[in-house]
Amino acid sequence: MDAVALSRALLEETKENADLIRLSRSYVQKARELLLEKHRSGGGGMEITRRFRDYRHGEALAGIARSYLPAFPELEEIDFELDLLPSSSWHLGVTEQFRDPPRVRLRPARPTNPSLTYVIPHEFTHLLQRPLRLVPQGERACDLYAMARAGKTFLVAPSYLRVPREARREWRRWAVPAAHLAHEALAARAAGSRTYLVRWERALQGCFGVARSAIPKWETSQTSSPPEHAGSSGSPRAQVHGGRKGRFPRPSPEPPIGLKPRGSRAVRWRGRPSPP
C-alpha cells in the first residue's frame, strides 16, 4: 500500500518529464503485482509462513483465518505473519505485536476445533490495539471489540470477560445476543462512558436472569417432573435444590458388619459371634 501511494505521488509530481513518468508507472505496476501476490498467498496483509503451510491442517486453518479478514479491513494497511505455536504451548494463540512485521501464532489444532472461532478474531483484534492503536489496550477490551466484529460466529465464550457459568456452557445460544450487547457497549463508550466493559457483563447477566426466570424451576432440575410432596414451607427452591425444608427423608445406611454403629454404646457383632 505504501509503495503504491509513493509511486502515485511521484507520478503527480513529475507530470512534465516523460522519463520519470515512465519510471513511476513501472513502480506502480510492480507494487500492484507485489500486493496481488500477497493477496494470493495470504489474504489482505496476511502472509502465511512456510511452517504454517507445511502443517497438515495449515491450509484449512489459513482458510478460517482468511474468512475473518473482512471483519478487520484495517489489517490491509499492515503486513503481518500467520505462524504456528509449539504443540506443547499452553496458549491457544499469541500475537507478537512488537515484532517487525507483527506475527499471529496459533496452536496446532484441527479445523473443527470450536475455539478457533474465538481465538482468531481475538488475536486479530490485538493487531488493532498495537501497532494500529484503534482499540484500547487490555484483554477484556480485546474480547469485547472482537465480539462486536465477529461475535455471532463464536462457538465458545470469551475467556476474559465475566460470563455466567450456565451461559458459558451453552454459548451457541448466547452468541448473537452477546454480539448485540457488545455493539451497545461500544456505542456507550463512544458517548463517553468508561464502564462499558462492566455494562456488557451486567447486561448479559440480566438477559440470562430473565431467560432463566421464564423457565419453571422444576424443569431446571435433574428430575423430569415436579416433586409431588412439598416441605413445610412449600417453596419450589427447597424441593428442587435439596434445601433443609421439604427434603425427602433418606434411609440411614446400615453399619458394616463388625463395626460399631454411631450413637450406640454397645458393640454388636452381626457376623461371627464375639470371642468368649
Q: What percent of the chain has pLDDT over 90?
A: 57
Q: Which domain holds residue 153?
A: 140-214
Query: Checking DSSP bridges between strand 80-84 and strand 93-96, what pairing results, if any?
Result: unpaired
Four-point Cα dihedral 24, 73, 140, 187, nearest 10: 120
* 230-275 pLDDT tens trace: 444 444 444 444 444 444 455 555 555 554 545 555 445 455 555 5
Contact 204, 181 (CB under 8 A): yes
Give the mean pLDDT of the chain: 78
Low-confidence winner among 54-63, 112-121, 164-173, 211-220 (lowest mean pLDDT) = 211-220
Q: How much is the average pLDDT of 20-30?
A: 63
Give me the pLDDT at residue 20, please. 60
Query: Does residue 1 sit in the same domain as residue 53?
Result: no
H/E element, 82: strand 80-84
Query: Does residue 69 sit in the same domain as residue 115?
Result: yes
Whether 173 is covered by a domain: the verdict is yes
Whether 57 is covered by a domain: the verdict is yes
Q: Hey, what's the cell of 196? A: 462499558
Q: How much is the average pLDDT of 51-60?
A: 96
Cα-flanking dihedrals φ and ψ of residue 91, to 5°? -95, 140
Whether 79 is covered by a domain: the verdict is yes
Contact 97, 126 (CB under 8 A): yes
Confidence tier at 7 by pLDDT (50, 70, 90): low
Instruction: Please say which residue of 102, 135, 168 terminates a domain.
Output: 135
Count the domains in the chain.
Answer: 3
Predicted confidence (pLDDT) at residue 13 exceeds the cutoff of 90: no
Low-confidence winner among 31-35, 47-51, 152-156 (lowest mean pLDDT) = 31-35
Contact 46, 66 (CB under 8 A): yes
Predicted confidence (pLDDT) at residue 229 exceeds the cutoff of 50: no
101 versus 217: which is more confidently predicted? 101
Confidence tier at 52 by pLDDT (50, 70, 90): very high
